[in-house]
Chain A
Amino acid sequence: MRNKSVPMALSAVLLMLTLAGCGNSNGNNNAGKEENAQGQTTTNTGTNQTGTSSTAEPVKLTLWTFVEQHQKFYESMAEMWNQKHPEEPIELEATTIPYDDMHTKLLLALQSGSGAPDLADVEQSKFPNFVKGKPQLVELNDIIEPELPNIVKSRVDIYSSDDKYYGIDFHVGATVMYYNKEILDQAGVNPDDIKLWSDVEKYGKQVLEKTGKPFITFEGNGNWSWWPAISQRNSDQVDQDGNPTVDAQVNIDTMNFFQKLVQEKIAAVAPGVGHDTEEYKGFMNNGGAASVFMPFWFMGRFTDEMPDLKGKMIIRPMPAWEEGGFRSAGMGGTATTITNQSKHIDLAKKFTAFAKLSKEGNIEIWKQLGFDPIRTEVWSDPAMKEANKFTAYFGDDIFDTLLEVKDEINPVNIREISPKVFDVVRNDAIPQIFQQMKDPSTVLKESQEKLVQQK
């Protein structure tokens, strides 16, 4: 076995990361020098100001992401940028690094002051770590504020601290119901009749009796079931000021209802205890349950990993908790951020605005990534009805559903304590409630107490 003592090993890793980072920052410096040299040559040889632009040499921007599709998206946006702005071309060097690795590397690079890329993707639940101490990310207010009327504001609020915006999300992450039409037809249930959560219980029983299958599934070690449900009811796990509110009465009520559904076998705990697991996707692909509610981005999991359900799945709004109640919740997300180590902050900002805030950028986000873009005007754009793998799978009325729930999405609070809250809820509370069938009120109160103590 390894006989290294652990702190040594970890610190060695830290150090190596820093060293690796140094190499990277040298790259940035070189890029900077090239640009300066270029600047001189253009002024020397250029006959007029505009004439020089066509010969401009590209500026190198580095970018880290943890999703390969994101990398492809950024690269295509850089190409598009270069066509539209030949006067300041970009040479985008994007790298995909595994999720945990990337965030850790980025944190350490920002902490040590060297080695960070110009641009980086930061996932929502990791974001609080990046505004601890003195934020090392660049404030984006000047590009975001002019666009605020056109975008879903909560999707940039998540990545803000002290009224400063640090990131722009890819998508709204609107949570929707994915119904397996085949199973519903067998049971004689019309999905459009399911308007309230109480209908889920009513029609769920019918599905269970007719087909022997559970109507819906919940995550047994995850947050994508309870969180959207409480967000619908204008509640959250953390309040605006960053205090945990895990045991709020409405949260307990929601959990009681969900636990009851599990006990009645109308709901099943997802195999693999989460919706984004191999086990669960296999289970659903074989027609394991009649429905699931997940954010919009889960569509890609269906098209890529549950191919047998093609043409059988439809997308509808979530059931509301009472008449006129909200029928969706914005969940998950990843922001594009700019680090303060960038030598080309202005250009990085322009490119980010082009890729993430502009109309063409938002249409590409749907076309390439299958996300619900944050710029709402594009939702009714004809481009959204164009055939692609998502419309082939779910039908072409996807955005009709989204437009219906457009104004029914509460913002979520992501604060410094959030990573701890997520862990306690996911790994401690939810397994006790859904697997050991303990009383939700007791469990959630215990979790709350634990979080308050740790604070």
Chain B
Amino acid sequence: MPTVVTDSTKNKLAGRRRSKLNMQIVAPYLFVMPFILSFIVFFSYPLIQAMLMSFQEVLPGETRYIGFDNYKKLWNEDFFQALYNNTRYTFWTVVVLIPLPMALAVFLNSKLLAGRNFFRSTLFIPALTSVVVAGIIFRLMFGELDNSLMNSILHLVGIPSQKWLQSSSLSMLALIILATWRWVGINMLYYLSALQNIPKDMYESASLDGAGPIRSFFSITLPQLKPITIYVTTISIYGGYAMFTESYMLWGGKASPQGIGLTLVGYIYQQGFEYFDLGFGAAIGITLLGITLVVSMLQLLASGMFKKEA
């Protein structure tokens, strides 16, 4: 009898140990489960579905596979115009939205500037507004009548009224101004936090060695900000190629004249929903994914992101 008892207690102990072990294995998966599930449902599944759709003609009750036909259709001037518009927009947003927020952050980080908290918040507030509302306001600001805001400003310096949203270069300018107004605060915030992580003693020893503020900016601040610059550039490229709402709102939900405001996502919207060619829309989407991947990879390679830390 006693031996039997010990056996059963042994078994119980072993069982407990085993379940503890199981818990240790299962628990992490349990904790990441919400993320994995939402990732599968909202990202993986739609992505795979979009890939399949890009090879289909999707019609109610008559969906069928058509091979590469949707991709063949991509070779047309509208697609290239959208690609050109996006590339131009991305280029200019990167040109403006890296140096400007960086400079602003350096100024707003300086203790010498009075009211810097005020400026920090005012520069950040646009990021909190909805793009839709901002787009409507900008559309009115860039109106073609003599009394629109931008035209009144032009009159002050003696330039006649412009039809802002009818011209390719002027409307690109309007888009860049909108993007700058909206995103400068966010990028500035990234730089501000990065600036505060630069050790003070680096500046101290630099000034002991006789470096002035300009020299220490280029030799200490700029190199120290490199990781954040890479990050901001990457998201700017994504953002530039994914731009849709800004151009959609600027032309009041209607297509822009001669496609001057057509973007790739706008093209997806036009083909997928306005012409109800969901398969072609999916093909544009997959192509856009490829383009952004390639551009970002090139940029990351060029900035030495994949090199081993020296």
Binding site for B on A (CB under 8 A): 1-12, 14-15, 99-100, 103-104, 107, 110-111, 129, 132-136, 220-221, 271-274, 277-279, 282-283, 419-420, 423, 426-428, 431-432, 435, 454
Contacts and interface: CB of A to CB of B under 8 A. Distances in A.
B292 A12 contact: no
Contacts of A99: 253
B257 A431 contact: yes
A115 to B, nearest CB: 13
Given A10-B281, A99-B253, 7 more contacts: A1-B240, A2-B239, A6-B242, A10-B272, A107-B273, A271-B144, A273-B257
B273 A428 contact: no
Contacts of A129: 274-276
Contacts of B144: 271-273, 279
B145 interface: yes
A107 B238 contact: no
B273 A110 contact: no
B285 A1 contact: no
B47 A7 contact: yes
Most buried by A among B60, B76, B241: B60
B61 A134 contact: yes
Given A1-B183, A11-B46, A428-B259, A273 B166 contact: yes
A6 B235 contact: no
24 contacts: A2-B242, A3-B238, A5-B288, A5-B292, A7-B285, A8-B50, A9-B242, A10-B265, A10-B285, A11-B50, A12-B42, A15-B45, A100-B253, A100-B273, A107-B273, A110-B60, A111-B58, A132-B276, A135-B60, A277-B252, A419-B275, A427-B255, A435-B163, A435-B166
Given A1-B236, A6-B288, A6-B289, A11 B49 contact: yes
Nearest to A340: B60
Contacts of A8: 43, 46-47, 50, 289
A271 B145 CA distance: 7
Q: Interface on chain A toward B: helix, strand, loop, or mixed SS? A: helix
Contacts of B61: 133-134, 136
B264 A6 contact: yes
A432 B163 CA distance: 14
A11 B284 CA distance: 13
B286 interface: yes
B288 A7 contact: yes
B162 to A, nearest CB: 13
Contacts of A135: 60
A426 B45 CA distance: 38
A7 B50 contact: yes
B62 interface: yes
B135 interface: no
Contacts, number: 141
B63 to A, nearest CB: 8
Contacts of B185: none
A7 B42 contact: no
B236 to A, nearest CB: 6
A277 B255 CA distance: 14
Contact of A427 (B240, B253, B259, B278): B259
Given A2-B238, A7-B286, A428 B258 contact: yes
A427 B271 CA distance: 15
A274 B251 CA distance: 12
Interface of B: 41-43, 45-47, 49-50, 58-62, 76, 140, 143-145, 163, 166, 183, 186, 234-236, 238-242, 252-259, 264-265, 268, 270, 272-276, 278, 281-282, 285-286, 288-289, 292
A428 B81 CA distance: 13
A420 B166 contact: no
Contacts of A6: 241-242, 264-265, 268, 285, 288-289, 292
Most buried by B among A5, A11, A136, A220: A11
Contacts of A431: 166, 257-258
Contact of B256 (A104, A279, A427): A427
A265 to B, nearest CB: 17
Contacts of A221: 166, 254, 257
Nearest to A4: B242
Contacts of B264: 6
Contacts of A104: 273
A272 B76 CA distance: 29
Q: Which 3 A-B pairs have the closest CB atoms?
A: A1-B239, A11-B46, A133-B59
A135 B240 CA distance: 38
A8 B268 CA distance: 13
Contacts of A273: 144, 166, 257
A244 B209 CA distance: 76
Contacts of A427: 255-259
A11 B268 CA distance: 11
Contacts of B41: 15
Contact of B50 (A3, A10, A136, A271): A10
B143 A3 contact: no
